[in-house]
Structures are given as structure tokens and as C-alpha cells.
A and B are shown apart, each in its own frame.
Chain A
Amino acid sequence: MRFLLDAEQRAFADSLDAMLTAADTPSVVRDWSRGEQASGRALWSRIAEAGVFALAVPEVYEGLGRRPVELAVAFVELGRHAVPGPLVETVTAAALLTEPGPAKRLLPALASGEAMATVAPSGSYALDGDAATTRLALTSDGLRLAPGHGPVRRCLDPARRLTPLTPGGELLVPHPPVAHALTTARLTTAAQALGVGLALLDRTVAYVKQRSQFGVPIGSFQAVKHRLADAKIALEFARPLVFGAALSMSPAEVAAAKVAACEAAYATARTALQLHGAIGYTAEYDLSLWLTKARALRSAWGSPRECRNVVVSARDRRW
């Protein structure tokens, strides 16, 4: 038993962090929100080059093998930098494509970053259907390749573009591994939310050290400190759940991780906004990019309520 990331995993996180810091993700997010995809696609290629999507693809299809722990490491960093795009959807698509025919046809391009996938149950919104090149619909008769998408609807997180998928299209797989794919979606959403929460905490700690009122930094006020301490506690106890879930990939553990990480990120978002005061309430200030994402991820791929229900009803809960 050694429940810690190893040196290689930590180095992977650090290199992603360095790459994303240099990439000026806030301006990429703003472009993406306006429907301008060039900078987002360029960033997508670099993320793929770093191997992120390949971590969801078996080696026979030109991936690095399915490696949920490394995937979680990567998604924490993607969340910390508010990277836009159908990130979770692309790895979820990869988890759905286990049938050799469609896998051979579609997975190599997902692993390399050449393709961008989105996926949704038919009738609900698919994230970023206007940018995705592979649009998958889960229908009653299986997994279909949707022929197109409908109009974009704005989301409360401007970087998430909600699109219905056009019905019909080629039936790719009659019985896709939906449960496993949902587990992948929830795990990566949880990791992304944890990253969002960590970024919100870091930014707020930096802000309250530098912003003065009444002649002292606001970070010296106990009411401010205690809210940040609570955010820190919530995030630090969500983190091991995310990595424990990645190790087991048990639906109950993943659901638990999603509840804890999304609730922690959301509570941190509320704290971050409050402690920034009015500037935090502006769209111009970058904090907003994480604030709205924390809310959106909470409902994505299973609300807290649905996930809590999985925890209490699960047969595979081992604790």
C-alpha cells in the first residue's frame, strides 16, 4: 500500500501545468466562448501531444492503454487551467468504443488529437457539438454517429457550448459499454472539478493577501481565513477520493468522488466570489472562468443527487 502519486505521475502533472500556464488559457477560453475555435484547437493538439487523450485509448489503437490514474492527474491540471472543449466527452467516447471495427476506425484520431468527440444521450445536449468532429449519440438501439448538430445554446459557463445532436446517423455499436463510459465521464469530471476548485482557492488566497481594507490585508481577518480554511479542507478530502476512485474504477467510488469534488469546487467558488467582492462578479476578471465552470461541472454527467443515490444503492461499495 502506497497511496501517493509516483515521481513519474507528478512529473506528468508538472509538465502539463507548465505547458498550460504558458498557453494563456484564459484568452483561449474567451475565444472558445465566442465560437472562435482556432486557439482552442491549437491547444487541443498540444494536450494530445502530451498524451492526455491517448491515456483513454488502448495501445492497439495507437493509445497508451487505458490508465485512469494518469487520466485523473491530467484532468486535475485541465481543470486548474480552465481548459475549454469537450475533454470529458472525448475520453468518454473512447470508453464507449470498445468494439474492434469502430474502435479501429475512430480511436487513433481521438488519441492523436486530430479528432474531437462529443457524446450525449439522444435528446439531451452534447457539449461543444459545433466544434467536435465526432458526434456520438446514445440511443435506445445503441451508439450512433450523429450526422450534425442543432443551434448552439448558451450555458451559464460561457465556455460550455450546448448543442443538440441531429437524430439518425450510422449505428456504430448496438450494445456499447454505457456503464463503464459513465464511470469514465464521472471520474474525469470529478478530477476536472477538483482542479477548478484548487485554482479558485489559489487565486483567492493570492487575492486576499494583496487586497487591503481598513489598513490591513483582508486575509488577516479571521472571517476570511476561516472560509478559506473550510475550502481547503473540502478540497483536500476530495482529492484522495478522486485518486482512490481512479484506482478502483468502481461506480460507487467514482460517484462518491464526483459528489465530493464537485461539492468542494462549488463551495470554493462561492467563497472565491464572496472574498473577491465586486471584482469577482465581473466577466472581465478571469476568476469568472472558473466560477461558472464549478457550477456547470456539478450537474454534468450525474448530479450530486444521482451520484449519492449510486453510493447508497451500489452493490460494489467496498467500504
Chain B
Amino acid sequence: MDLAFAPQDEAFRAEARAWLEAHVPAVPLPSLETEEGFAAHRAWEAELAADRWSVVNWPAAYGGRDAGLLRWLVFEEEYYAAGAPGRVGQNGISLLAPTLFDHGTEEQRARVLPPMARGEVIWAQAWSEPEAGSDLASLRSKAVRAPGGWRLSGQKTWSSRAAFADRAFGLFRSESRAPKPHQGLTYLMFDLRAPGVTVRPIARLDGKPAFAELFLDEVFVPDEDVIGEPGQGWRVAMATAGNERGLMLRSPGRFLAGADRLFRLWRAEGSPQDTEDRVADALIGARAYQLFTYAAASRFLDGALLGPESSLNKVFWSEYDIALSETALDLLGAQGEAADTDWSQRYVFALAGPIYAGTNEIQRDIIAERLLGLPKGRR
């Protein structure tokens, strides 16, 4: 058991740090949830990609560095420590790409992944529907066979950044008479600007307009944009849903950097006694999450699969993020009320953590039933 990185990994860390030092914008970019921020972040994705830092763990053929899981973690630590911008390409990179690596065709990978890595095509996730939230399998949007492809109809909602994104991936009901709700679903990619697609932005709690609902009216999708086998969409989608909850969506680097910023804020405010315990807990929690992730990564590198353990991560980081930003707001006092500070923006975004990527109630059910072996009850 050890925590020392190999010299090559340390060299990688140093290289990443040097690059970030030279390239991270001195003035923070506008929020990626706005139109101008979206464009600025797209340009940042391209800058990362130009030196192959946008997807370090991908194969070189698609724009990565074959860096592996540990170096990806190292990169993320450096990335957030450097105060680099949020990743507008995240949905595609952390959700669609792993699915394509596991279930896509070689043609799909070659066509979809390089422009994703360069930020030329930004992806939105179109899973949720008005009547299908936690009970996602009850979704109703349809995919109907058409010559050479499928026609999609229905409504998707709560799609992050879909107002400005280029394409989306989602689940559709392709067999109306399947015996169970999660059967007969097909996983497809589609163009957000295709004829028949209407995108309606929905302002979030923070007023940012990038969230959207999608109305689909006979939208044509060619066969080449089906991921995996038609009818097998649930299995394909769930195989990588763990990524969303687990480390790929929220790497420890983000929380280590956040805890460090909180600690510095606390010191700058004169180390007030009444928040000492909460600041300590923020530091302890960040370290715990980092070490937990190192242990999970070590198991993964030994050949274990990342299973329902990712539900532990999800609940932990989402609650941690709220506690962290609440503490910062309490420290800032009246100043914390201002909506345009980093901390208040982080706080409002953190509030959504226990809801998206599968609510924490659903994650606790998974932990209880699949990790502790408790009997299934009424849903």
C-alpha cells in the first residue's frame, strides 16, 4: 500500500502544471451557462485540445494522451488547483464518450470523438422527461422505424446546456409492446438543429439560460447514430451511468481546490472560531474523497469494475459541495448575498447536486439494496 506516484506520473504532473500556468485565463471566463460564456468556454476547449489536454485519458487516436486513470486524476488536481475554467464539453466527455468506447462502433468513435475533444461539437444529455425523472424507465418519447433510420417524437426536459449545445444523446421507446418499461428502448444521438427539434430554454434558480427542454417532432436520425443494439438502450445507458455519479463527473481535484480556497478565505477573515470546525471538515472531506478515489482507482487498475460504489461517491460529493459553499457564504456574511461572486454561484449550483445524476434518495436505495443487501421495498 502506498500513495507515492511513479516518477513518470510526477513528470506528467509537472508538465500539466506548467502548461496550465502558461494558459489558464488570468480573468475568469463568463459563466458557461450563458451564451457568451458558452462561446468563450468552447474556445478554451479548443485551446486545451490543441496541446492534447482536453481528454488526457483517451487514446491518442482521438486526441488524448493514453494517460490512464491515475494521470487523469493527477491532471484534474492540477487543473482545479490552477483555477482553470469549468468544462463545457463535460457531458459528452464524461457520459457519451465512455459509452462509445464500450458500446459504439469504430466508425462512431472516429466520427464523434475528435470533434468532441476539440469542443467543436458540444453535447447535451437528453434522458429526463416531464413524466420520467427518478423513474426514468417510464419515459415515453418514441423512436419509430423509417427508411435508413428512425424518427424521434416526444419531449425531453432539464437538459443541461442544451440551449447552446450542438447535439444530444438520449433514450427513446422503440417497441411499444415490450413486457417491461426498461425493455424496448433505443439509445440514439441526434442533432439539436435538425428539422423538427424545438429547444426552449428554462431559466434555472440562478437565472442562467442554458438549461432547456426539447420538443421533438418526427426528427430523422440515421441508423449510424444508434448506440449499441436497437432495443438495448437501457443496458447501454446504465452501463455508463456510474460515470456520472462517480469519479468522472466530479473528480477530487475540484473539491481539494475548493477546500483550499475556503481555508484561505477563512484565514483572510481572521480564522473565526465559530466556523473552525466546518472549515476543518471541509479539509477533511476533500482529503477523504481524494483517498477514497485513489483506493477505487487502485481497485479498478487491478481489474475490478466500478459498480454500485459510485452511489457512495455521488451522495458524498453532492452533500460535501453544499456544506463547502454554505460555509463560504456564512464567512462572507452580507457580501455572500451578492449573486455574482464565485462562491454564491458555486453555492446555487451545488444545491442541484443532490438532484441531478440520480437523486440522493435513489442513490441511498442503491447503497442499501446493492451494497448492504437489504430487501427491495415499495418504490
The finding on whether chains A and B are genuine partners in a shared complex, rather than unrelated, reads yes
Give the Cβ gap from B267 to chain A, nearest Cβ, in Å.
9
B residues 277-292 in Cβ contact with A at 8 Å: 277, 279-281, 283-292
**CB <8 Å contact, A3 and B291:** yes
Name A209's contact: one of B3, B301, B367, B373 (CB within 8 Å): B373
8 Å CB contact of B288 from A4, A205, A240, A248: A240
Closest residue on chain A to residue B70 by CB atoms? A1
The residue on A at minimum CB distance from B302 is A4
Q: Provide the residues of chain A in CB contact with B17, threshold 8 Å.
A: none
> Are A312 and B271 in touch, CB under 8 angstroms?
yes
- Whether a CB of chain A sits under 8 angstroms from the CB of B194 is no
| Chain B interface, >50% SS class | helix
Task: Report the separation of the CA atoms of residues A110 and B46 in the bound assembly, to the nearest whole angstrom.
Answer: 63
Q: Point out the residue from A69, A228, A247 that lies within 8 Å of B374, measured CB to CB.
A: A228
* B372 partner, pick from A3, A205, A241, beta carbons under 8 A: A205
Chain B residues within an 8 Å CB radius of A238: 288
Q: How far is the CA of A78 from the CA of B5 in the complex (A)?
A: 32
Q: How large is the interface on B (under 10, 10 to 19, 20 to 34, 35 or more residues)?
A: 35 or more
When distances are taken between beta carbons in the complex, the residues of chain B under 8 Å from A237 are 285, 288-289, 292, 312, 316
Q: Are A1 and B294 in contact (CB under 8 A)?
A: yes
Residues of the B chain whose Cβ atoms lie less than 8 Å from the Cβ of A239: 292, 295
Q: Roughly how many angstroms separate A167 CA and B280 CA in the complex, as a whole number? A: 37
Residues on A with C-beta less than 8 A from B368 are 219, 225-226, 228-229
Contacts of B292 in A (CB 8 A): 236-237, 239-240
Query: Which one of B266, B291, B316, B363 has the highest number of Cβ atoms from chain A below 10 Å of its Cβ?
Result: B291
Decide if A34 is an interface residue (CB 8 Å cutoff).
no
- Contact: A247 with B364, CB < 8 Å? no
CB distance from A276 to the nearest CB of B (A): 15
Query: What CA separation (Å) do A209 and B373 show in the bound complex?
Result: 9
Decide yes or no: A217 and B375 within 8 Å by CB, A232-B367, A233-B316, A259-B280 being known contacts.
Answer: yes
Contacts of B372 in A (CB 8 A): 201, 205, 225, 228-229, 232
**Does B371 touch A at the CB level, under 8 Å?**
yes
Selected from B2, B286, B291, B365, the residue in CB contact (under 8 A) with A2 is B2
Q: Is B377 part of the contact surface with A, judged by Cβ < 8 Å? A: yes
**A221 contacts the other chain (CB 8 A):** yes
The answer to whether A1 and B283 touch across the interface, beta carbons within 8 angstroms, is no
Q: Which residues of chain A come closer than 8 Å to B180, judged between CB atoms?
A: none
The answer to whether B367 and A241 have CB atoms under 8 Å apart is no
- The 8 A CB mask of B282-326 against A (1 = contact, 0 = none) is 011111111110110111011000000000100110000000000
Question: What 5 additional pairs, Cβ within 8 angstroms, besides A2-B1, A230-B364, A240-B294?
Answer: A225-B365, A225-B372, A237-B285, A247-B3, A312-B276
Measuring CB to CB, which residues of chain B are less than 8 angstroms from any residue of chain A? 1-6, 9, 70, 256, 263, 266, 271, 276-277, 279-281, 283-292, 294-295, 297-299, 301-302, 312, 315-316, 361, 363-365, 367-369, 371-378
- Would you mind naming 5 contact pairs between A and B with Cβ atoms under 8 Å apart? A3-B1, A205-B372, A305-B277, A311-B280, A312-B263
Chain A interface residues (CB < 8 Å from chain B): 1-6, 9, 69, 201, 205, 208-209, 216-217, 219-222, 224-226, 228-230, 232-233, 236-241, 243-244, 247-248, 253, 256, 259-260, 304-305, 308-309, 311-312, 317, 319
